[in-house]
Amino acid sequence: MPLWGWIVIAAIALIVLFLVFTYNGLVRLRNMVDEAWNQISVQLKRRHDLIPNLVNAVKGYMDFEQETLTRVIEARNQAVTAQQAGPANAGQTAQAENFLTGALRQLFALVENYPDLKANENVMQLQEELTTTENQIGFSRQHYNGTVREFNTSIQTFPNVLIAGMFGFRERDYFQIAESDTAVPEVNLRTTSG
């Protein structure tokens, strides 16, 4: 076989190896994104499972606050539905979860107005479990967003962008919290003199 024949074979082999390694790397990153999403899903499911228990625990005390309880349950149901779409729908899931967080905050603010309810051990335990779950969601969200960043960067850079487009790799959405949740609260330590 002439020399140019060996050069062509070597060039084809290099191209095939490049395609295989690039494709496998993209699959690995996509699987890492899916795994990170599953970690979020576990925590969100835990959160969703705790909410009905909390609503039932406070329902008897909050006769005049049924609208707030209804909003919490509706927000929870929307969040459960949004989450079922998986990581491809992370943006909508985050939006639904942010709405649920707002409803829960309103509920917790109302709990402060009921001394008997604040002293209820079951309610306090559920609040503590929800707080712990919120922290775990935050850690899972950080891991997921970091993995998404790595995946998105990989499929956007040359030459991976060529292979990613050919094989249908698409960018993933970040799981972001509401802008109001990231704002630093204003603290006013000044006293007014009369």
- Are 170 and 90 spatial neighbours (Cβ–Cβ below 8 Å)? no
Between CA 183 and CA 20 the distance in angstroms is 45
Between CA 137 and CA 79 the distance in angstroms is 14
- Are 188 and 154 spatial neighbours (Cβ–Cβ below 8 Å)? no
Q: Work out the percent of the chain whose per-residue pLDDT is above 90.
A: 57
The full set of domains in the chain, from first to last, is 23-176 (1.20.1440.20)
Model confidence over 170-180: pLDDT tens digits?
999 999 876 55
- Predicted confidence (pLDDT) at residue 182 exceeds the cutoff of 80: no
Model confidence over 57-107: pLDDT tens digits?
888 777 667 888 889 999 999 999 998 888 888 889 999 999 999 999 988
Question: Stretch 104-130: mean pLDDT, rounded?
Answer: 85
Model confidence over 27-68: pLDDT tens digits?
999 999 999 999 999 999 999 999 998 888 888 777 667 888
| pLDDT band at 193; cut points 50, 70, 90 | very low
pLDDT at residue 189, rounded to an integer: 33
Q: Residue 46, exposed/middle/buried by CB under 10 A (0-12, 13-18, 19+)?
A: middle
pLDDT at residue 180, rounded to an integer: 55
Average model confidence (pLDDT) for the chain? Answer: 86
pLDDT at residue 8, rounded to an integer: 92
